[in-house]
Structure 1
């Protein structure tokens, strides 16, 4: 059933004139007449009594007018609601975050709920490489350089630094670390990336940057698990500065050889390309970006 035919019928019923209905709809009297005829043929009944001087609703026409007006009013309300949602952040946003880094953003997401109470978040904390389009994510945050992808909108959120960290308990029971060479006598907790490759430690040594691959006592494929293992005294690990910062402040970790810190990978937000970014998605993205700038 064509909504335009129903609108034409309602216009004729309200104006009691095919001519005035056509003027109000911005079309011709002939088009309005054909629309009403199609509707009558579909319903199998006459909706109007027509004379040379007047147009009146039949009994069936009066019954159908009540339902048609309610249907059109419902459609208008739906259109207004959808228009409002495009302007006001409303609805669910699906967010995929790296495991360890994502926990860093949880306080920011809590303040986002206060700022936009009509936005609901669905959050996954994982280090696997998800597919934003196939899995239906609104925003995917990834750490590292990205390959060009025409199906994605990419926004850089911040830069990170990499440093060595260990628990106070571990450092208090092992030899002092004064230089990079002292690391040879220490236990290492190493991260294994999604490709299965062990991530080496990249360290600043004076004017030179060295990449070393210490023999691990523990290999972790989960970013948060690596942090937990380091806090629990398994050894030293190389951790992103923003992730380590709250644990250092709480006394759970100590920063080792800060002069050996190196620039880390960038952080990007990936958004599947659409005709227009929804207000809810833009609000969440901007809030995360603001939190990382702070």
Structure 2
């Protein structure tokens, strides 16, 4: 393989991982036609079909899978070697790509971004907000942010947020029309503002008391995948909502929302920044870790 083919091999890896010419083009900063031209030329030179193409999807062929299995570790090794050179600089620099659950983006990361920009102006942070549990290795993220119970034990992790808890709330007006539930069983008498997960399933309300755990599937008055709309609908009296304490605390303190079944809603570990234990931590990622684990108010 000629060195001139290396850029096209990088294009192939991007397309095979993204399963899309359009997403690969966006990731690489190229046009879709340039991506298509590079792949056609590479396949012609190799004399092999590397990708199955349909109008709706792209997937590696058997030959493509074999090539991908060799290329990805090699390219990761090159990337690590280049990243290692950054340690010779006086100032951390380069990209850091994070997958972050939606709640943490505005509540925990946004307040710290000015400090990161001030202290490390050459670090380029990319934040992908998504509630699904991404495979940070396969999807080529440098690190992730998830609630503590979601982080695998083989990951290195640092806390970046306080403990939180889920809470069930309703507006005073709603609770005048529908007596507050005194037990989880009485939730069946209520309609809920339900959350649609990225997987497509409705989130079940997870309750716990004295070691007894329940997952309650609630009848819907409204379904949304937007946490802020969930809170607004609760304020409007649409139904009961199961929300993070951090999302509703101000409304509860002001009397706009009322908690129910508080003794069934224990706290849980908050958000953690995590990355694979065997991965080299670049100076840029180390800078991000340092800023995110600090107290933004201090």
TM-score (norm 2): 0.55
Secondary structure in 1 matching 2:164: strand
Secondary structure in 2 matching 1:290: coil
| Residue 262 in structure 1 maps to residue 266 in structure 2 | yes
Give the one of 117, 125, 131 matched to 2:129: 125
**Quick one: distance in 2 between partners of 1:266 and 1:250?**
24
Give the one of 105, 111, 114 matched to 1:107: 111
Q: Rate the CA distance shift 1:109–1:232 in 2: closer, same or farther, 3 A.
A: farther
**Quick one: distance in 2 between partners of 1:124 and 1:182?**
39
Q: Report if aligned partners of 1:161, 1:264 keep a CA contact under 8 Å in 2.
A: yes
Deviation of the 1:188 alpha carbon: 0.8
Q: Rate the CA distance shift 1:84–1:249 in 2: closer, same or farther, 3 A.
A: farther
| 1:140 matched residue in structure 2 | 144
Q: Rate the CA distance shift 1:174–1:121 in 2: closer, same or farther, 3 A.
A: farther
| 2:284 matched residue in structure 1 | 280
| Residue 216 in structure 1 maps to residue 207 in structure 2 | no
| Residue 238 in structure 1 maps to residue 242 in structure 2 | yes
Please list the CA deviations of residues 213-251 of structure 1 after superposition, one character each: whole Å capped at 9, or x if unmatched. Answer: 221222334545544544554322222223433555677
Deviation of the 1:277 alpha carbon: 0.9
Unaligned 5+ runs, structure 1:
1-77
**Quick one: distance in 1 between partners of 2:253 and 2:104?**
16
| 2:192 matched residue in structure 1 | 188
Q: Rate the CA distance shift 1:188–1:116 in 2: closer, same or farther, 3 A.
A: same
| 1:90 matched residue in structure 2 | 93
| 1:289 matched residue in structure 2 | 293
**Quick one: distance in 1 between partners of 2:112 and 2:216?**
35
Deviation of the 1:92 alpha carbon: 3.0
Cα-Cα RMSD: 3.9
Q: Report if aligned partners of 2:170, 2:235 keep a CA contact under 8 Å in 1.
A: yes
| 1:166 matched residue in structure 2 | 170
Secondary structure in 2 matching 1:127: coil
Q: Rate the CA distance shift 1:95–1:251 in 2: closer, same or farther, 3 A.
A: farther
Q: Rate the CA distance shift 1:124–1:183 in 2: closer, same or farther, 3 A.
A: same
Q: Report if aligned partners of 1:99, 1:222 keep a CA contact under 8 Å in 2.
A: no
Q: Rate the CA distance shift 1:251–1:286 in 2: closer, same or farther, 3 A.
A: farther
Query: 1:29-108 alignment to 2 at 5 Å?
Result: 82-85=86-89, 88-105=91-108, 106-108=110-112
Deviation of the 1:97 alpha carbon: 1.2
**Quick one: distance in 2 between partners of 1:148 and 1:275?**
15
| 1:70 matched residue in structure 2 | none
Q: Report if aligned partners of 2:166, 2:242 keep a CA contact under 8 Å in 1.
A: yes
- Between Structure 1 and Structure 2, whose CA radius of gyration is higher? 1
Unaligned 5+ runs, structure 2:
1-81
